[in-house]
Structure 1
Amino acid sequence: MFVGMDFGTSNSAVGMVDSKGVARIVSHDNAGLSERAHSDTLRSMVAFDRAHRNADGLPLPLVGQEGIAAYLNSGDECRLLQSFKSHLTSQLFTSATIFNRPYTLERLIAIVVERLRRGAEADGSAPVTQVVAGRPVRFVAEDGKDSDEYALKRLSEAFAQAGIAEIAFEFEPIAAAYYYERTLDRDETVLVADFGGGTSDFCLVRLGPSRAGMANPKDAIIGTNGIGIAGDTFDRRIVERGIAEFFGKNTTYHSNRKDLPVPDWIYGKFSRWHHIGFLGTGSTLRMLRDIQRHASHPERIEDLLTLIEYNLGYHLYRAVEQAKVALSQHEETTFVFDHAPVRVERRITRAEFESWIAPEREQIEACVDSLLESTGTTASQVDRVFMTGGSSLVPVVRAIFDRRFGADRVSAGGEFVSVASGLAYRAAELFGRR
């Protein structure tokens, strides 16, 4: 059994290839958070709940959907951490202290990987010690500098702590290419566009029967490029531009004979749903209560207070995600957030959404153009564009490739499992030779 692990910023998945060369995806328990009992993906997050302890009295880590359930039900008694992958380049984030116990970033990642490993072992009925894991084309720090070596060292250590004795890394778009290659009976020059939660990665590669005959199959790679913009960024833009105003953004309040805006740093916490709960400190709540008494829209500040005090950030972002999905299928949708006593309803058009993410779309386009230019490749030399990942379904993103290459040469598939499946195929290719 050969195993590939797609450890993602928002979601993770595991692919397995059996002795017959057939791939499948390991299923994960949704812990009652979805209409479906199981899912092909696992949320890349860990929660520590005071109510769940081991024999030594230490809080047990709860992973994925189970962690979300604990976080929603426990309030202040639960700490939730996520987006570990985006912190791999940070020299500042070395550890987090949870209930007076420090956890390194590597250890937190290892907890998620351990869960993925155990799922693969239960599915395959054998220990998992060799894994091919995905990685973005570029690990880029906040200062814009390339941080590949540092990030990979930390990621390697995390997998080792999770019990993986041998780890090999593969670019995520290359893994998606291996998935797509299974459909080919002739050679093609393919541009693979992989849109994850935290990054968008692109790879030009020669795929088909001849690649398998190469002494080093990686010689088929023509070039790669990537950018730290993807699905999570699009969600944040919906919140910032379309929803935050209902919770007081741009509202003013009267103080010292002046009309002042509600502090913008409050809405900076809206960038990640679980950070909204960080606003629930006594000093912040007292400040907001005082602002509410003198606000131009006190009802919006009341809704903000309810959002914070009832820990509704997860539900808000779920509604945002549903609206984003709907806008991929329809020209407009109605965003609805209904958790009594708060109800927000807003019509959002696809045109509005596309205007909100226009700067990010332009950066994605520039990244693709840069890859073509750096490899000396013209659009006419690309036989096929294969798009995968959740944001590949966003029409304005798809249009980038339709315009450059022609809609007849653009295809998509395996939006949430192509990388994991491709990593498993790569594992069979790499470890099966031994």
Structure 2
Amino acid sequence: MAIGFDYGTANCSVAQFINGQVNPIPLVGEDRYVPSTLCAPNSETVSEYLFRCKEIKPVDTVGEALLRRAIKVNREEGLEVRADDVKFGHEALDLYLDDPKDVYYVKSPKSFLGAMGLRDMQLSFFEDLVCAMMSNIKSRSEQHLGHEVKQAVIGRPVNFLGRGGDKSNIQAEGILRSAANRAGFKDVEFQFEPVAAGLEFEASLKEDKNVLIVDIGGGTTDCSMIQMGPTWASQIDRTSSLLAHSGQMVGGNDLDIYTAFKCFMSEFGMGSKRQSGLDIPLIQFWNPIAISDVQAQRSFYAHDNFSVLRQIHREAKEPEKVNRLLTLHRETLGYSVIREAEKTKIALGEHEQYTANLNLLSEVFEVDVTRERLEAAIEPPTNKIKALVEEAVVQSGIKPDMVFMTGGSARSPILTNAVKSVLGDTPVVRGDFFGSVTSGLARRANLIFK
């Protein structure tokens, strides 16, 4: 039996299409969603965990070298890898928040997969991360269903993050495919996420329509202009119905990053001066919270950068604020700051003001944020989303009959209004923000793996 698998930037979910309806598969208790997070004692644990605890072997010489290195490091550190050393989802986040300094934590590895210029060993490690997460989801699905699952249709964005264009997309999809195969999925197909969301919406249509799907997820925004309705619903080949695609790595994560940068980082010294009158480099405030940028994270948390930060602290006119930046580095708290930015973004979707609580372990302080301030903070990613909507309409050469908005970040009234500002009086329909893509993937899996 095949499943639809939404390996999302923010969450993972799966579903089956049985007896004419989509059946979401609970993964943790009754919860259908597992946050796309992983936590372990160190990064080397992941590769050895796959080999020892999941019996998943590397598929090439690079992977074998990565595994040998991981085993060597863990042996030198006296770490005997066990199955419960690797945590996923909420368990991973809880462990990180409890002890951020002494664990390896990663959120949204899907955001890294299209990055260019990485060494083969780094790419192999990314594959291990994805494989571990997919294996976890597969095992939980099979436990619930009571049988093995070998076939899956997996969602993918129109464009992955990366400066390589098609090369980034090919690299990222290749990592996903290899990881899924290693996790035990024998047959794997991919579907654009906005198209998948459209397939679910299509089931509700009584007549053919030109629909613009706007899928604003955790890491990407994808727009697809699709002809859909009864004429198209049962067709396996939908190529001629797909009129336009646009997509970019801009989504909920970016909104959180900009919220943190514009609303929080002044409390860490951003905008303050050195005694000489020179500004403190903005990059030192951007890099710790740029959780989707591997190089930025590596640059900020590098050992050498701590010496730079100490020098900035000594020269700062407001050393008490810059001291928080030192703590951010020392305790690896970037994800914690982003977590509070996300809570702020969600709260201001319903309220005009919110008081954020930033926990630096040694200090907890509050920051008041208004909706107006949030809108100003997230204006750059909001404008990118509006441009993607316009691009899809221009590509197709037609005005949509309606807009279907989905994806976790589409809940934001700020983004809904931004999309409406591009399309004027076109009706906007809002679907299952988290489940539309998964449901469409399940429908697609049922159609092609009969």
| 2:14 counterpart residue number | 14
| 2:22 counterpart residue number | 23
Take 1:306 and 1:166, find their aligned partners in 2: how far apart are those partners?
Answer: 47
| 1:78 counterpart residue number | 103
After TM superposition, the structure 1 = structure 2 runs for residues 320-399 of structure 1, keeping only pairs within 5 Å, are 320-338=341-359, 341-378=362-399, 382-399=400-417
Kindly state the Cα deviation for residue 195 of structure 1 after the two structures are TM-superposed. 0.7
Take 2:348 and 2:312, find their aligned partners in 1: how far apart are those partners?
Answer: 35
Greater strand share, structure number: 1
Residues 392-401 or 62-71, more deviating: 62-71
Q: Which runs of 5+ in 2 are unaligned?
A: 54-70, 72-79
Aligned partner of residue 116 in structure 1, secondary structure: helix
Q: 1:110 to 1:242 in 2, by over 3 A?
A: same
1:117-152 alpha-carbon deviations (Å, 9 max, x no partner): 112111211111000000111235225565333332
Aligned partner of residue 127 in structure 2, secondary structure: helix
Residues 142-151 or 111-120, more deviating: 142-151
1:62 maps to 2:87: yes
Aligned partner of residue 211 in structure 1, secondary structure: coil
Q: 1:347 to 1:339 in 2, by over 3 A?
A: same
1:170 maps to 2:191: yes
Aligned partner of residue 193 in structure 1, secondary structure: strand
**Count of equivalent residues:** 414
Take 1:368 and 1:289, find their aligned partners in 2: how far apart are those partners?
Answer: 45
Kindly state the Cα deviation for residue 159 of structure 1 after the two structures are TM-superposed. 1.1
Per the normalisation by structure 1, the TM-score is 0.85
Kindly state the Cα deviation for residue 230 of structure 1 after the two structures are TM-superposed. 0.9
Q: 1:41 to 1:374 in 2, by over 3 A?
A: same
After TM superposition, the structure 1 = structure 2 runs for residues 279-298 of structure 1, keeping only pairs within 5 Å, are 284-285=305-306, 287-298=308-319
| 2:57 counterpart residue number | none
Are the aligned partners of 2:197 and 2:436 in contact in 1 as well (CA < 8 Å)? yes
Are the aligned partners of 1:138 and 1:146 in contact in 2 as well (CA < 8 Å)? no
Residues 406-415 or 194-203, more deviating: 406-415
Take 2:120 and 2:31, find their aligned partners in 1: how far apart are those partners?
Answer: 30
| 2:430 counterpart residue number | 412
After TM superposition, the structure 1 = structure 2 runs for residues 62-211 of structure 1, keeping only pairs within 5 Å, are 62-94=87-119, 103-139=124-160, 141-144=162-165, 147-211=168-232
Q: Supply the AA of the counterpart residue of 1:10.
A: A
1:431 maps to 2:431: no
State which of 31, 34, 55 in structure 2 corresponds to 1:42: 34
Q: Which runs of 5+ in 1 are unaligned?
A: 30-36
Q: 1:84 to 1:352 in 2, by over 3 A?
A: same
Are the aligned partners of 2:3 and 2:17 in contact in 1 as well (CA < 8 Å)? yes
State which of 258, 267, 272 in structure 1 corresponds to 2:291: 272
Q: 1:281 to 1:89 in 2, by over 3 A?
A: closer
Residues 165-174 or 275-284, more deviating: 275-284
Q: Supply the AA of the counterpart residue of 1:43.
A: P
Are the aligned partners of 2:348 and 2:354 in contact in 1 as well (CA < 8 Å)? yes
Aligned partner of residue 278 in structure 2, secondary structure: strand
Q: 1:400 to 1:249 in 2, by over 3 A?
A: closer
Residues 244-253 or 305-314, more deviating: 305-314
Q: 1:75 to 1:234 in 2, by over 3 A?
A: closer
| 1:229 counterpart residue number | 250
Are the aligned partners of 2:97 and 2:336 in contact in 1 as well (CA < 8 Å)? no
Aligned partner of residue 104 in structure 1, secondary structure: helix
Kindly state the Cα deviation for residue 224 of structure 1 after the two structures are TM-superposed. 1.4
Are the aligned partners of 1:93 and 1:105 in contact in 2 as well (CA < 8 Å)? no
Residues 314-323 or 231-240, more deviating: 314-323
Q: 1:66 to 1:288 in 2, by over 3 A?
A: same
| 2:340 counterpart residue number | 319
Are the aligned partners of 1:277 and 1:313 in contact in 2 as well (CA < 8 Å)? no
Take 1:373 and 1:278, find their aligned partners in 2: how far apart are those partners?
Answer: 39
Take 1:310 and 1:359, find their aligned partners in 2: how far apart are those partners?
Answer: 29
Q: 1:370 to 1:286 in 2, by over 3 A?
A: closer
Are the aligned partners of 2:39 and 2:88 in contact in 1 as well (CA < 8 Å)? yes
Are the aligned partners of 1:385 and 1:401 in contact in 2 as well (CA < 8 Å)? no
Take 1:395 and 1:210, find their aligned partners in 2: how far apart are those partners?
Answer: 33
Per the normalisation by structure 2, the TM-score is 0.82
Take 2:232 and 2:341, find their aligned partners in 1: how far apart are those partners?
Answer: 42
Take 2:205 and 2:192, find their aligned partners in 1: how far apart are those partners?
Answer: 20
1:36-83 alpha-carbon deviations (Å, 9 max, x no partner): x76332222332216987688346433333333333444454222333
1:212-260 alpha-carbon deviations (Å, 9 max, x no partner): 3546344322221112211111111111111011011222233xxx233
Take 1:341 and 1:269, find their aligned partners in 2: how far apart are those partners?
Answer: 18
1:259 maps to 2:284: no
Take 2:170 and 2:396, find their aligned partners in 1: how far apart are those partners?
Answer: 23
Take 1:74 and 1:215, find their aligned partners in 2: how far apart are those partners?
Answer: 49
Q: Supply the AA of the counterpart residue of 1:403.
A: S
1:188-207 alpha-carbon deviations (Å, 9 max, x no partner): 22111101111100111122
Are the aligned partners of 1:40 and 1:417 in contact in 2 as well (CA < 8 Å)? no
1:250-272 alpha-carbon deviations (Å, 9 max, x no partner): 22233xxx233334332222212
Take 1:265 and 1:359, find their aligned partners in 2: how far apart are those partners?
Answer: 17
Take 1:295 and 1:165, find their aligned partners in 2: how far apart are those partners?
Answer: 58
CA-based RMSD = 2.9
Take 2:81 and 2:362, find their aligned partners in 1: how far apart are those partners?
Answer: 36
Take 1:308 and 1:270, find their aligned partners in 2: how far apart are those partners?
Answer: 11
1:5 maps to 2:38: no
